Each structure stands twice: as C-alpha cells, then as structure tokens.
Amino acid sequence: MRDILNYSLLSHNTFGIDAICDRFVEFSSEEELVSLVSSLTESDEPLLILGGGSNLLLTDDYHGTVIHSAIKGISLVENESTDESVVLRVGSGEVFDDFVTYCVEHGYYGAENLSIIPGEVGASAVQNIGAYGVEAKDLIVKVEAIEIASGKKVSFTNADCQYAYRQSRFKGEWRNQYIITYVSYKLATSFVPNLDYGNIRAALEEKGIYQPSAKDLRNIIIEIRNAKLPDPKVEGNAGSFFMNPIVSKEKYLQLAEEYPNMPHYYLDEQREKIPAGWMIDQCGWKGRTLGRVGVHSKQALVLVNRGGAKGQDIVLLCKAIQDDVYKRFGIHIEPEVNIR
C-alpha cells in the first residue's frame, strides 16, 4: 500500500490540474483496503475516492485524503457463465479500455461500443459510463465494495445500484459510503453488432465493411473518437464535459418548430434527448478560447486546458456556456464531470 503526504494529483487527472492533496493512499487488495478504512480518522476528511481522474475537475488543492484502487485482474466466473454468455470479475483499478480489449480478444461481446473511454473499472460502475448506444449498466451484474464505516465486504446487484443516464446510487445517496473493489460484467459469446448510433454504420461502409467483426467495430469507434476528441497529453480535458439533456416531448416540439434540423434521440413517448454539443455549437462556443481554457474545435462538448489553467478557469467557462445555452434554448445543461 502506498501512503504519501502532500501529494501532487497532476498525473491523476486528465484535465492536467496541478493540485496537491493532504494525503494519498493507494490499496492493492481488499485486505489492504479493510485495514485502511479501519485506520481513517477525522483528520482524513473529506475523502475523495479517485479512479483515473478522467471525469474530475479539481478547483483547488484537496485538503483531505485521496484513496485510489490498484486492484488488478480479470477472471472468469465459471459458475455464472454459460454457452451464451460469460461473467468476468474485474479489479476496480484496471484501466477500463484494457478490459474492453480483453473482451474483444477473447471473444466476449457487448463492450465494443465503449472502446477507449478513459478511466478505470471502478469508475464505470459509479458513473454508468456510456457511448454509442451502450452503457455500463447494460453489462454490469454485480459490484463488490468495502463499506467505509464498518470495513465490511458488501456486494450489490445491478438493480441495487439504480442506474440511470450517467447516474448511480454511488454518485448520490451512497457517495463516500463505499469503495469499489471489483465489478462483474456479463458478456455474450456471440457477436451482434450495435451499429445504429451516431455515424458508426456510415464510417464502416466508407471502408467497405458491411458485416463487421468485433475488432472492426472497436477499431472504427477508436478512429471516430480520436478524430473528434483531443489527446489529454496535448490538451488537458475530461472528454464530454456536459450531459445531453433529456427534455419533455412538449419542449422538444417547441424547439423543433424553431430549429427543424435539430438533432435529437427518441427515448419514449414523453421524452427526447437533445445533444448538448449541438446547442453549445449553436451558441458560437465551438473552438473559442477564454483565457487559458476553451472549447475544442471539433467537439463542442469538450472543454480543454490550453495550458496552465486553474480549475476555476474551467468553472467560469462552464458557467458562461450554461448561461448562453439557457438564454437561447431555455434548457439548463448539467456537467457530467465531477467538480471538486
């Protein structure tokens, strides 16, 4: 177990914010984590449970204790696997895209559309990450954790976690009550591609691929994402900064009359999802710079650190964009990123 005081979190957040935490602790096993939580005192508060830092904006130094999982490993849960599907138990400290790569290479299917989403496995169960018509909740069957107050091992079913769009009980009522150790995912053993979200099918057909393999699908999604998302090593960012708002059918119809070419995604008879990036672009923010931060030139959902930015610089940009979107569309867009 690593236990370091006055530790820089620069390498633990993709926005590239150089914030210092009072204490940084990294555990490599359930036993180490049980020992850690039993030793925590009031001086460790507030706690920050940190994954890969790809969905985090630090606005200042963190005067508390940061806890990070280094639990690794991917194993087959044999008694829960069948000819049609397998269950994989994955350490919370595994890089999520390494898990996706493992699945594609071993003939386990369903995670391909989540390729190269940054972050770690534990965070996938907290954030309910998603892309191209697939969400983590579609695959998760069990989440194992340690309860901070008692040090007890607990486990939760998918239903227990009450997943919704980029939400779970770990982000809400269970915040800082549990630290995730393992996540179990259910994958199919036969490949049925999910091609009908965004421009996946068109991008494949441009390459003459009409019956893609899982590797083909993964590669095209990597290509699409790399084309529109900046490399955090070049420009600090946390991927999509805002969630796509879900609006009532009435609100959607009102806007559709004014903007007949507005993109949208049907959810049900009462609700539609409108891309936040499109609204931000309509407000003229795409590619703009505000001091040391800005909006990416290829994807208006992405806020970037142009170099040397503070967390508060990004907060000010976020608020300016929210204000403009609300004034024009009457919709308040919420950050997907965890602002601390």
| Positions marked catalytic | 166, 240, 336
- The candidate with the shortest Cα–Cα distance to 73, out of 161, 160, 213, 184, is 184
- The candidate with the shortest Cα–Cα distance to 113, out of 6, 31, 192, 30, is 192
Distance CA(227)–CA(225), nearest Å, equals 5
Distance CA(194)–CA(260), nearest Å, equals 27
Q: Which residue has the tokens 């529109």?
A: 228
Tell me how far CA of residue 334 lies from CA of 89, 208, 264, in angstroms.
Answer: 32, 39, 17
Q: Compute the 3-state secondary structure of the chain and give helix, strand, coil in percent, each to the nearest 5.
A: 30, 30, 40
Tell me how far CA of residue 85 lies from CA of 105, 161, 221, in angstroms.
Answer: 15, 22, 23
- The candidate with the shortest Cα–Cα distance to 236, out of 13, 85, 6, is 13
Distance CA(61)–CA(63), nearest Å, equals 6
The token pair that represents 289 in the structure block: 């710079």
Distance CA(327)–CA(303), nearest Å, equals 20
Distance CA(95)–CA(253), nearest Å, equals 41
